[in-house]
Amino acid sequence: MNTTSGRFLTIEQVAEELNCKSSLIRNLIHTGELRAFQGGARGLWRVGRQDLEDYVADAYRRTG
């Protein structure tokens, strides 16, 4: 994965790490497949780095 630092990632950063579109990440969040929360004054979505790692590990388990 990319070396984007920080505990929490934006939707765009997650999309960049997974090499996909932001719309897919939004869909994963809204369906509950990827944990995220809305934070800050503007209510922007944030994904915890560990939540992203867990999602990737679960994706490997499902396809393996």
Nearest one of 63, 58, 55, 61 to 17, comparing CA atoms: 55
| Radius of gyration of the chain, Cα coordinates, nearest whole angstrom | 11
Model confidence at 64: pLDDT above 90: no
Model confidence at 2: pLDDT above 80: no
Model confidence at 3: pLDDT above 70: no
**What pLDDT shows up at residue 5?**
67
- The pLDDT tens digits for 17-61 are 999 999 999 999 999 999 999 988 899 999 999 999 999 999 999
